[in-house]
Every structure is written in structure tokens, then in C-alpha cells.
Amino acid sequence: MSANEDDSGIGSDKADSDVFVSDYKHFLHTQIRNVIESERTKRSTLDKCDELHIAIDLCKKLLVEMGENEESKRKHVLDFLIELKLELTQIEENLQNGESVENSRRWQGHEFQLQSVRGRNPYCETCVATIWRLAQAWRRCTKCGFRTHDKCIPNIIGQCAASIIAEPEFKLEYRICPESTLNQQNYECYECHAAIGYEEGAETEPRLCDYTGRYYCRKCHWNDMMVIPARVIRNWDFEPRYVCRSSKKLLVVTDKKPIINLEKENPSLLQFIDAVNEVW
């Protein structure tokens, strides 16, 4: 069997599970945005604290309505509820200390700080438009480096890479490009759910991420290239390959961290690669 084959069916089940979680995250964020926009039409003075209270109340309502067999949904809503409460607490503390509400913001595990108007104009990693520093407020995550317009923060779907690897159960993907099909993804970008397909033309052509094995749109996949941990461990292959933006962030953050147990993941490699054997 080749290194990227799976005889257990686990890969397919995991792909279906990942798509389900991604779909529900998209649903939850859309619901919150819609409720906030609806409330804004009634109250023109809606501020950030009001928006957070609305989102918190909606999460609580969803938790109450959930059945006992919806543990996956419950966990995601609880995690998001905790994050919302942390941001609300931080804003309230800033106000008590006489600080601006906008100095820092938390979202999806990111910790965003306002950036200077000086320097080059970067790209917003949310809307993929240029950030005009003199005219547009923008932020950078202090943990993973994610850059975004201030106004685009509510549209961020992906979790902060630094927050992901900080979770106790985190583990790198050690299967080589565990590819799913476009049909399994409902012909949608795995991250933002934009429509993708080969027949629609270059603008909607799907791009494969060699790390996750999923397909993404051009907004979520900029053709960045990174060394893939699974290919190094299985084949001692250090050739960079195309990855999506979220995978690039994850691989950059984990690059200098000693989290791969080579002896455990591929003990036979030590016998055949002289360079590794010498170091070992």
C-alpha cells in the first residue's frame, strides 16, 4: 500500500465530519450576522458591546434548543460563546480603564491589534482587497500574523492557527494529501463555501491544498507553497507544494516547534536515511 492510501475508511469518515463542522460554523456565523443586521435597522446606535450581547444571547438560545445527540454542534457553539464572552469582558475592562474599545479585538481565536498608518499597503486576508493604510483601519493578529480590514473581522471564518495548535488534542495531518472530491464538498470552497467548479471558468476554478486535500476558491488559496510534513515523514520529500492560506498559517506557526515524533510516526525511516540516523 502506498503512503497516501487508507484501508480503514477513516479518511472518508473524517472528511465527511470536517465538512459537517465547516458547514455548521458557516451557518452559525451567518445567523449571528443576520440577527445583528436586523437589530441594527431598529437601533442605529448599536455599538460593539451591543453586538456581542446579541451574539451571546443567540448562542445561549441555540444551546437550549439543541438535542442530546448534537454534541458536535454543542461543542462548537460553546467554544464560540466562550470567545464572545472573553471579548466582551476585554472591552468592558478597557472602558473601565478609560481605554478605547477599538484598541484590541478577539475573533475566532485571533487577537487583533490596530496597526499604524505608515508602511506598505498589505492585502486583507478576508476580502483579498488592498488595505489602504491611510484611509482604512486594519489589524494584525499578534498570534499568527493574520491581516485584515477592521470592517472585515466579522466575516472571518477560519480559526487562528496559533490557537489551533495550542489545543491539547492538536495533531498535524500525517496522511499525504487526503483528497476528497468536489462532489463531497458540494462544489463549494472548503473554507468560505463560495461556489467552485471547473466548468465555470478561471474565476471559480478550484485549487487543491496539498496539506488538507480539500479544494478552495482563489480567495482562500493564493497558490502559496510550503513543505508538507506528511511527505517529509513518509517519503523524506522536502519539495514545497501548493497550500491554502489557512494551511500556510498553520505550517508557518508549527515550523519551529518540536511536535513531530519521527521515531513514532515512521521508525523505519531512521534505518534508510543516513542524515537522520546520524542526528539521532
The percent of residues above 70 in pLDDT, for the chain, comes to: 81
The pairing of beta strand 207-208 with beta strand 215-216: antiparallel
Lowest mean pLDDT among 31-35, 101-105, 243-247: 101-105
Does 265 score more than 90 pLDDT? no
pLDDT digit string, tens, across residues 43-88: 877 777 888 888 899 999 999 888 878 888 888 888 888 878 876 8
- All three cell numbers of 225, joined, read 507553497
From the number of C-beta atoms within 10 Å of its C-beta (0-12, 13-18, 19+), residue 85 rates as middle
Residue 96: which pLDDT band, with cuts at 50, 70 and 90?
Answer: confident
pLDDT of residue 256: 76
Cα 200 from Cα 197, distance rounded (Å):
6
pLDDT of residue 211: 94
Instruction: Please check whether residue 258 is in contact with residue 279, taking contact to mean a CB–CB distance below 8 angstroms.
Output: no
Domains and CATH numbers, the chain: 1-99 (no CATH), 102-170 (3.30.60.20), 172-279 (3.30.40.10)
- Segment 245-253 shows an average pLDDT of 92
pLDDT of residue 208: 95
pLDDT of residue 4: 39
Q: Which residue has the higher pLDDT, 117 or 241?
A: 241
- All three cell numbers of 56, joined, read 451571546
Tell me the pLDDT of the chain averaged across its residues: 80
The count of C-alpha atoms lying within 13 angstroms of the C-alpha of 277, restricted to the half-sphere facing its C-beta, is 7
Q: Which of 275, 224, 270 is nearest to 249 (CA)?
A: 224
- All three cell numbers of 210, joined, read 496539498
The rounded Cα 35 to chain-centroid distance in angstroms is 23
Does 19 score more than 60 pLDDT? no
Lowest mean pLDDT among 52-56, 230-234, 246-250, 262-266: 262-266
Specify which of 44-58, 149-163, 235-249 reaches the highest per-range mean pLDDT. 235-249
- Segment 219-228 shows an average pLDDT of 93
pLDDT digit string, tens, across residues 97-111: 766 555 678 888 898
From the number of C-beta atoms within 10 Å of its C-beta (0-12, 13-18, 19+), residue 43 rates as exposed
What is the residue whose three cell numbers read 472528511? 15
Cα 175 from Cα 179, distance rounded (Å):
10
pLDDT of residue 257: 78
Does 26 score more than 80 pLDDT? no
pLDDT of residue 228: 93
Cα 213 from Cα 208, distance rounded (Å):
6
Cα 71 from Cα 179, distance rounded (Å):
26
- All three cell numbers of 109, joined, read 481565536
Does 168 score more than 90 pLDDT? no
Does 3 score more than 50 pLDDT? no
The percent of residues above 90 in pLDDT, for the chain, comes to: 20
pLDDT of residue 129: 86
Q: What is the pTM of this model?
A: 0.61
